[in-house]
Amino acid sequence: MASSRSACAVTSLTEFIHRVYRPTGGLRHRRILDFRPARDFAARHLTPSANFFEPTFNDCRYCQLPAKHQPLDILVPYGHATDRPWDQDAHMLAAKGWAVEHIVPVKDSWADREPSAPVDPDPGWAEAARLGVLGSCGSEGDPAASHVVFDPCPPLARHITDIEMALQGPSQTDATPCTVLDLGCGSGRDLAWLCSRSLRELATGQGRSSVVWRGLGLDSVRGALRRTRLLADQLGVGSHVVVGHGKFHSDGLFYLKSDLADPVLGNPPPSIITGGPPLFTTSDRRTRDTPSIDPPRDLSFQFDLVLGVRFLNRGLFTTGQIGQWIAPGGFLLYSTFVDLPEFPDEHPHGFLHRLGPGELAGWFGPGTGYEVLDDRVECIEDGRHVVSFLARKKLG
């Protein structure tokens, strides 16, 4: 793992391409960040790569980085008239533990260059064009250039192709609209990754996904929801993602803390998911755990996929609430921390925060109207163990 400046190889664009290019797959096996100004990225960039230009590395960007053990390559402006070190952010990531393998100063890119100033292209771009890994955009921020360098949660990556094939209509050549509910969406990595999947694969020429996802992400932390909105917008799918600020209580009921129209959330109309009806209606259900202030909300829509990652509220299962949100033929994909005696020191601690092995299969197993497709314990990138579960709701 790269952890110091000496671990980063500073190399020219031409040399970098020669080092990492593969005749089969081009650069797709690399995770490439491009710290150059958006105008320079739009004019020329390596495919695939992601543009991360800010005057300083924005805190909202950390949630968009890959796991620290995964090799990372960073293109940077060649210099600054202000004498700010052009590689400062790249070395900062290496110092924080990311495995930065290459830092590539691009000779035709200067962070504070006037847009009209003439510049000669870096010779590396001609080599990129020759090898078929040179891209460009029609304008700055063109969503066709969107690319992610992070991975979604392992069970989503593992099962999404099969889920989409099951949800597609009879003609797999036509785009199939599908909906996803992300419970405890956090910074929105899984939600934005999924909703941008078809756009991203079209942009990179892979073209495998013909499902167009629209989704609702729910979380109790406004800062996390702002990061979700930023990521969705950056990937060109802001109009496909609605975020809801609220909290699930122990009775499984949901309480909105902010109106969906709150400008801070930046939501498109909820009808992009429902086709017209409201997403939430005021609930008249009350239990002894129901707060006396503000009525709970019923989520009055059924989704093709309900997703829960590192989030647990057993009230959603014990009350059967979560099943009401899954459409017939739809899927539940859940992955959260497991309660096993062999992992006593793993965080978070306690029954409230961990699922027992086989617990989900008890709620969605034989005789419940679901088919269990996957139920396993696996180790995630930070060394902790989770139970990953996939079930499909039967038709009819």
Q: In this predicted model, what pLDDT tens digit does every residue of 312-334 receive, in sequence order?
A: 999 999 988 899 999 999 999 99
**CA–CA dist 263, 87 (Å, integer):** 36
Domain shared by 127 and 184, yes or no: no
Which CATH number does the domain housing residue 134 bear?
3.40.250.10
Identify whether 326 is part of a domain: yes
Identify whether 179 is part of a domain: yes
Identify whether 148 is part of a domain: no
**CA–CA dist 244, 257 (Å, integer):** 8
- 3-state SS record for the chain: CCCCHHHCEECCHHHHHHHHCECCCECCCCCEEECCCHHHHHHCEECCCEECCCCCCCHHHHHHCCCCCCCEEEEEEEECCCCCCCCHHHHHHHHCCCCEEEEEEEEEEECCCCCCCCCCCCHHHHHHHHHCCEECCCCCCCHHHCCCCCCCCHHHHHHHHHHHHHHCCCCCCCCEEEEEEEECCCCCHHHHHHHCHHHHHHHCCCCCCCEEEEEEEEECCHHHHHHHHHHHHHCCCHHHEEEEEEEECCCCCEEECCCCCCCCCCCCCCHHHHCCCCCEEECCCCCCCCCCCCCCEEECCCEEEEEEECCCCCHHHHCCCHHHHEEEEEEEEEEEEECCCCCCCCCCCCHHHCECCCHHHHHHCCCCCEEEEEEEEEECCCCCEEEEEEEEECCC
Q: What is the pTM of this model?
A: 0.88
State the Cα angle at 87 between 86 and 92, rounded to 5°. 135
Domain shared by 267 and 304, yes or no: yes
Identify whether 92 is part of a domain: yes
Domain shared by 137 and 210, yes or no: no
Domain shared by 137 and 183, yes or no: no
Identify whether 282 is part of a domain: yes
Identify the residue whose tokens are 């035709």.
108
Tokens of 53: 């230009």
Domain shared by 219 and 307, yes or no: yes
Domain closes at, from 142, 162, 180: 142
Q: At what angle do helices 123-131 and 13-20 cross, to 10 degrees?
A: 30
Domain shared by 196 and 127, yes or no: no
Phi, psi (rounded to 5 degrees) for 132 = 80, 25
Identify whether 149 is part of a domain: no
Q: Distances in Å between the alpha carbon of 220 and those of 187, 248, 260, 289, 340?
A: 11, 8, 13, 18, 28
Domain closes at, from 111, 142, 173: 142
- Among 259, 390, 264, which Cα is nearest to 326's? 390
Question: Structural domain tally of the chain?
Answer: 2
Domain shared by 224 and 327, yes or no: yes
Domain shared by 174 and 44, yes or no: no
Domain shared by 215 and 289, yes or no: yes
Domain closes at, from 112, 142, 172: 142
Domain shared by 78 and 204, yes or no: no
The residues that bridge with 244 in the sheet, in sequence order, are 218
Domain shared by 205 and 344, yes or no: yes
Domain shared by 195 and 227, yes or no: yes
Tokens of 226: 């702002």
Q: Name the amino acid, one letter, at 38.
A: A
Give first-to-last CA distance, the chain, whole Å: 51
Identify whether 294 is part of a domain: yes
Which CATH number does the domain housing residue 357 bear?
3.40.50.150
The one-digit pLDDT tens for each residue of the chain (396 residues) are 334 444 688 899 999 999 999 988 889 899 999 988 888 888 899 988 988 876 566 677 888 899 999 999 999 888 654 444 556 778 888 888 999 999 999 988 776 556 566 678 899 999 999 999 998 876 544 555 568 899 999 999 999 999 999 998 666 666 789 999 999 999 999 999 999 988 776 665 555 667 899 999 999 999 999 999 999 988 889 999 999 999 988 778 888 888 999 999 999 999 999 998 888 887 766 555 545 446 677 788 999 999 999 999 999 999 888 999 999 999 999 999 888 878 877 778 777 788 888 899 999 988 999 999 999 999 888 888 899 999 999 987
Identify whether 207 is part of a domain: yes
- Domain hosting 194: range is 154-393
**CA–CA dist 339, 348 (Å, integer):** 10
Q: Distances in Å between the alpha carbon of 372 and those of 183, 290, 385?
A: 20, 32, 20
Tokens of 159: 């099962």
